[in-house]
């Protein structure tokens, strides 16, 4: 579409909304009588990726919105919507392991990273190696300019390794600082 920014990849929240919308607006035929869920096939305009979105139905066949599924940081609870990526490998880079697979040591910052492209280009780092404090709140982490700058340098360097070019100012690849968390020790 003219003027649309398609560089950010797919958004799970938006994908989860497409299924109910397609059913309620009549884009798809009504579900079979007695069906408890409906699978809605979706093809992303930004990545070309195919998704199957499963939507729960009420006994009358309408979309079920009431439920007990909660997402941290999002108020309330609702009915689950399941989004399945049909062939997730290499959506942005053409390869599931765009840096050759497994953990790679980047020259920059000496941080070990794993680069994966499974529906979304992602860089996984060991939180301890980059100085993430698991006891810190999300706001405190955002305010830790030293850690955030280091994460950004690692993310941009990993983008080059993944074949995405200079990712400065881009949202891709995403970065994930992983570790055992405070409850583990």
What is the number of other CB atoms lying within 10 angstroms of the CB of residue 64? 19
**Would you give the distance in Å from CA 55 to the centre of its chain?**
19
Instruction: Quote the tokens at residue 89.
Output: 């490998």
Q: Give how far Cα 73 sits from Cα of 3, 70, 76, 77, 138, Å.
A: 31, 9, 9, 11, 11
Residue of 115, 125, 103 whose CA lies nearest to 161? 115
- How much is the average pLDDT of 120-135? 88
Neighbours of 164 (CB within 10 A): 19
> Are 157 and 173 in contact, with CB atoms under 8 Å apart?
no
Alpha-carbon distance of 12 to 84, in angstroms, equals: 10
Question: Is a pLDDT exceeding 90 seen at residue 9?
Answer: no
On the question of pLDDT at 5 being above 90, the answer is no
pLDDT of residue 51 exceeding 80, the answer is: yes
Mean pLDDT of the chain, nearest integer: 87
Q: Return the pLDDT at 185.
A: 54
3-state secondary structure of 20: helix
CA angle 99, 97, 127 (to 5 degrees): 75
Residue 48: what pLDDT? Answer: 82
The residues with which 104 forms a beta bridge, in sequence order, are: 113
Cα separation, 86 vs 101, in Å, equals: 21
pTM value?
0.71
pLDDT at 10 over 80: no
Cα(57)–Cα(66) distance, integer angstroms: 10
């Amino acid at each position: 579409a003219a003027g649309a920014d398609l560089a950010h990849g797919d958004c799970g929240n938006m994908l989860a909304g497409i299924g109910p919308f397609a059913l309620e607006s009549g884009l798809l035929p009504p579900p079979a009588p007695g069906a408890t869920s409906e699978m809605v096939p979706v093809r992303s305009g930004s990545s070309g990726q195919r998704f199957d979105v499963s939507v729960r139905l009420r006994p009358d066949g309408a979309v079920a919105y009431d439920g007990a599924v909660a997402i941290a940081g999002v108020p309330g609870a609702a009915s689950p919507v399941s989004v399945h990526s049909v062939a997730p490998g290499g959506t942005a880079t053409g390869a599931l392991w765009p840096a050759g697979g497994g953990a790679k040591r980047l020259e920059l910052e000496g941080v070990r990273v794993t680069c994966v492209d499974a529906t979304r280009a992602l860089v996984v780092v060991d939180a301890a190696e980059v100085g993430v404090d698991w006891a810190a709140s999300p706001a405190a982490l955002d305010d830790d300019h030293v850690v955030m700058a280091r994460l950004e340098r690692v993310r941009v360097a990993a983008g080059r390794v993944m074949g995405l070019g200079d990712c400065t100012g881009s949202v891709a690849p995403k970065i994930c600082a992983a570790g055992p968390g405070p409850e583990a020790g």
